Structure 1
Amino acid sequence: MRTVTALRHVHFEDLGSLAAPLRARGATIRYVEAPVEDLAALDAEAPDLLIVLGGPIGAFDEALYPFLATELDVVRRRLASGRPILGICLGAQLMARALGAEVRALGVKEIGFAPLKLTAEGWRSPLASLDDTPVLHWHGDQFDIPAGATWLASTVIGRNQAFAAGRNALGLQFHLEAEAGRMERWLVGHAAELFQAGIDPRNLREQARQHGPHLTSVAQDVMNAWLDNLLP
């Protein structure tokens, strides 16, 4: 693993705890600021790994945020190449769209730390160590599982939380990368959304304190397991 390109939408939703296992493998990480950089000029096949991060807009909002149409094309080209790609939250939704699945409003906000329910395939996947580990959920939209992809995880609120399209493409609706020590940036950056959803930031702060350190450890285990499983 030599080069990793991460498409970022807001500065505080970065690779978080997932950066360490990548750097431990000798990877150089490059962030591309998706809303403002020239995505049309981006070589979708060049990096060893492309990661598409989260953000507070919808994967179907290209009429409001035109750069999303170009970003969706980047994701399509990457998927077509068969080269490794990881999508988180918005990134996973863009992957689902690129694979022909629908992304739509969930109807509620799923925000907070809660465990996943792994499917049988999820238990046999790199996500297996997430069992009983509360992860950070922060979304109001949900993807359908693309045709031919493998459904890996769910929650009571959001049925479709993860999918794999072969061994080199993984989409995660939840925020595996979130670090407890940086949660204050999320609380401030998404303050308006929390207020509108009626969610007390003090509760999220306490959840992060309780669950964050363990999530970081498990997240790095999951990332290493997925990287070990990638096809050359």
Structure 2
Amino acid sequence: MKSALIIRHVPHEGVAGYREPIEAAGYQVDRIDVSDPGFGCIDLREPDLLIMMGGPMGVYETDRHPWIACQMRRLALRLEADRPTLGVCFGAQMVAAALGARVFPGGAKEVGFHPVTVHDTQGPLRHVADTPVLHWHGDTFTLPHNVELLASSHVYDHQAFRRGANLLALQFHAEMGEDPRFDAWIEQSPDDVEAAGHTPDSLREAHAAHGARAAAAGRAMIAEWLQGLD
């Protein structure tokens, strides 16, 4: 059976809706938190599929989070080997940085449900076109060399990119929409909610209105991407 490893940077940001298509594609899913004492010993080239999820930290905060530099070194080796890799939000920023891009605080907090403009209308991201999906970040990145920009939003141009068949980076959270941990996101980041012009109640209302459709679109997107892996 193929192996998939999820790297979780904070407990409330898991793989959520992406688990179903990953398991349906024949992967045995394992997970490790960066706080696990054994995390630094794992060769990130080994899993057949690596999934790196989100987190409130910045890629540049290596003084506060020493594990970032360690993870980045091992991620770079995996990307050099072109092993199948999915990065989500902070995970996508790590991918961008490992490919030589600059990650930095943006000019606005992008939080809430709204659609992305999909540039590759024939690829897997077509499933999320015109679908309000969850955004929750304040950092952004320059586009790495030799990648294809797949999606943008009205807040940030760089919302998704790929390199060949095996690397996909998603700034947005199409895995979220039906996961009860959404309440933990609101509780953990009240300043982000306010800075983006929302309230906890308005976000919960948006989650109720758009969540199921967003999660279904996200599952379809990931299922198709997995089918196309080399």
Same structural fold, with TM-score higher than 0.5 when normalized by the shorter chain: yes
Hey, what does 1:156 align to over in structure 2? Answer: 154
Hey, what does 2:189 align to over in structure 1? Answer: 190
Which ranges in structure 1 are unaligned for 5 or more consecutive residues?
none
Amino acid at match of 1:21: P
Hey, what does 2:213 align to over in structure 1? Answer: 214
- TM-score (norm. length: structure 2): 0.95
Q: Work out the CA distance in 2 between the residues paired with 1:118 and 1:195.
A: 28
**1:197 Cα deviation after fit:** 5.0
- Give SS of 2:124's match: coil
**1:141 Cα deviation after fit:** 0.4
Amino acid at match of 2:128: L
Q: Work out the CA distance in 1 between the residues paired with 2:77 and 2:35.
A: 18
- TM-score (norm. length: structure 1): 0.94
Q: What's the Cα RMSD here?
A: 1.5
Q: Work out the CA distance in 1 between the residues paired with 2:7 and 2:218.
A: 19
- Give SS of 2:185's match: helix
Change in CA separation of 1:180 and 1:210 when aligned onto 2, cut-off 3 Å: same
Bigger shift: residues 38-47 or 164-173: 38-47
User: Is 2:19 the counterpart of 1:10?
Assistant: no
**1:38 Cα deviation after fit:** 3.5
**1:42 Cα deviation after fit:** 0.8
Amino acid at match of 1:149: V
Hey, what does 1:125 align to over in structure 2? Answer: 123
Amino acid at match of 1:184: D
Hey, what does 1:73 align to over in structure 2? Answer: 73
Which ranges in structure 2 are unaligned for 5 or more consecutive residues?
none
Aligned residues: 229
**1:194 Cα deviation after fit:** 2.6
Q: Work out the CA distance in 2 between the residues paired with 1:77 and 1:167.
A: 17
Amino acid at match of 1:125: G
Hey, what does 2:229 align to over in structure 1? Answer: 230
Sequence identity, in percent? 36
**1:80 Cα deviation after fit:** 0.9
